[in-house]
Amino acid sequence: MKSKSPVKLSANMREDSNFSQSDLDFDQNHIWHPYTSLTNPLPTYPVVSASEVRLKLENGQELIDGMSSWWTAIHGYNVPELNQAAKDQLEKMSHVMFGGITHQPAISLAKKLVEITPKGLNNVFFSDSGSVSVEVAMKMAVQYQHSLGHSGKTKFMTFKNGYHGDTTSPMSVCDPEKGMHHLFTDFLPKHHFFEAPKNGFDEEPDEAELSQLAIFFEQNAKESAAFILEPIVQGAGGMRMYAPKYLSAVKGLCEKHNLLLIADEIATGFGRTGKLFACEHANVSPDIMCVGKALTGGYLSLAATLCSDRVSKTICEGEAGVFMHGPTFMANPLSCAIANKNIELLLSSNWQEKIEQIESQLKQELEPAQQFPSVKEVRVLGAIGVIETAEEVNVPAAQKFFVDAEVWIRPFRNLIYIMPPYVIQPEDLSKVTKAMVDYCHSIANGS
């Protein structure tokens, strides 16, 4: 096989803050971006720096970020305390293997997570991304059942419209019909899906629906290891909010049928819904919980899977004697050090008051979009604002509209939504919500 010639870095390739046209052409023709074609790529906007809630483009334009970089940067960007935590840890060690070695950042972070998560989640397994934390949770559930002698309990039960990640096991519990992974249907394991809860956060669950849910458990629990769900808010599967009593009902049915409950709090954790964790809306403690995204404040990729003593004890007393997983970058010290400071910042702030203010403002300022025939529904919970449109959004056109309005919003399918940093000021949030409503007005008028 012919080897590539050595590449000599040109001046513009060495200077990160300067983009040449050849750089942008290379990006467009050779670099995959999420859910984007290489033959017909979506436009990308070159960012050179970020500070507080603003992204600075190469042309000098600044955009107010409504996405928290996919829900991670809860304190905004270039945060002095997080910068310092990174610098301090870099001077000690950026990484060591976690096999046979431990370190203070991991111990401190695990202590914090055990303390702040729902009662009973006393054991922490670190991994390097949210999707992997779901892989870990699902393996925990299967190994738990195997350790009890239930080797046939390898299926999972879940709601439709869910999203749990892009790796294999998480894909298999995403919505098989309307989800982003239907192309892989024949490749993925087959699991059991129940209709997504119909009633919204402030509504009472439909009793007939709950009766059908009980029947669903009766039919499928015998071959299932666990029920996995996103508590209260379904994220990338549709940005839907549902009544806490649905979550309570699932927990009760899991207990009745000796199944584990896995709560995927990757998108909802660390205050996003108005509670520190969305499970708190229903006063539910899951058997296994996944956290990620906002864990490091958007600085580095890190996730954790927490489980109860019952789960960990059963696994470790089973055939293997250990949990069969171990990522190379497990409990990376640099990530853990930043996560420690990030959680300290969150808990020492008046985050609940900030979320309440954001929620109130989102409800008031997004409601006018409901009048447009192009809008199907407006919904808000905590620091999450969603406009669901009647038709699929033209992403390149919408992206240009928002950039021209000096805000950063990344729609998908028929959803224009925001999850802003908690530190966003009211006037900046108003600029973001105005752009959302103005865009809906523009498509209603056919422009």
CB 365 within 8 A of CB 437: yes
pLDDT tens, position by position, 83-125 = 999 999 999 999 999 999 999 999 999 999 999 999 999 999 9
The confidence score (pLDDT) of residue 42 equals 87
Top-tier CATH class for 28-65+350-444: alpha beta
The confidence score (pLDDT) of residue 16 equals 52
CB 434 within 8 A of CB 66: no
Q: How many CA atoms lie within 13 A of 414 on its CB side?
A: 13
First CA to last CA distance, the chain = 52
Which one is catalytic: 139, 153, 160, 163?
A: 163
Known active-site residue 45: no
The confidence score (pLDDT) of residue 5 equals 45
The confidence score (pLDDT) of residue 252 equals 98
Domains of the chain by residue range: 28-65+350-444, 82-348
Residues 6+ away with beta carbon under 8 Å from 157:
191, 192, 193, 194, 216, 217, 220, 221, 224, 226, 227, 228, 259
Which one is catalytic: 25, 35, 178, 198?
A: 35
The confidence score (pLDDT) of residue 263 equals 98
Which one is catalytic: 264, 299, 417, 422?
A: 264
Q: Determine the distance from the C-alpha atom of residue 344 to the mean position of all C-alpha atoms in its chain, rounded to a whole number.
A: 20
**SS3 category, 136:** helix
Buried b (16+ CB within 10 A) or exposed e, 268-278: bbbbbbbbbbb
pLDDT tens, position by position, 217-268 = 999 999 999 999 999 999 988 899 999 999 999 999 999 999 999 999 999 9
Q: Specify the pTM.
A: 0.94
The confidence score (pLDDT) of residue 10 equals 44
Report DSSP state, residue 225: E
Distance CA 292, CA 166 (A): 14
The confidence score (pLDDT) of residue 35 equals 86
The confidence score (pLDDT) of residue 175 equals 85
The confidence score (pLDDT) of residue 13 equals 39
Known active-site residue 293: yes
Q: Residue 404 region, left (φ>0) first, then alpha (ψ -120 to 50), else beta? A: alpha
**Which residue's entry shows tokens 């004890």?**
313
Nearest to 291 by CA among 233, 230, 352: 230
The confidence score (pLDDT) of residue 17 equals 59
Q: Which segments in the chain show pLDDT lower than 70?
A: 1-17, 447
Known active-site residue 35: yes
Catalogue the E-assigned strands of 325-447. Answer: 375-381, 384-389, 407-408, 415-418
The confidence score (pLDDT) of residue 62 equals 98
Known active-site residue 264: yes
**Which residue's entry shows tokens 């927990």?**
251
Q: Quickly list DSSP for 37-82.
A: -SSSPPP---EEEEEBTEEEETTS-EEEESSHHHHT-TT-BS-HHH
In this structure, which amino acid lies at residue 280?
Answer: E
Q: Determine the distance from the C-alpha atom of residue 402 to the mean position of all C-alpha atoms in its chain, rounded to a whole number.
A: 23
What token pair was written down for 378? Answer: 């407006």
Distance CA 132, CA 415 (A): 26
Distance CA 413, CA 394 (A): 8
The confidence score (pLDDT) of residue 9 equals 41
207-220 and 244-256 helices, crossing angle to 10°: 30
Which one is catalytic: 139, 153, 155, 293?
A: 293
Q: Give CATH for domain 82-348.
A: 3.40.640.10
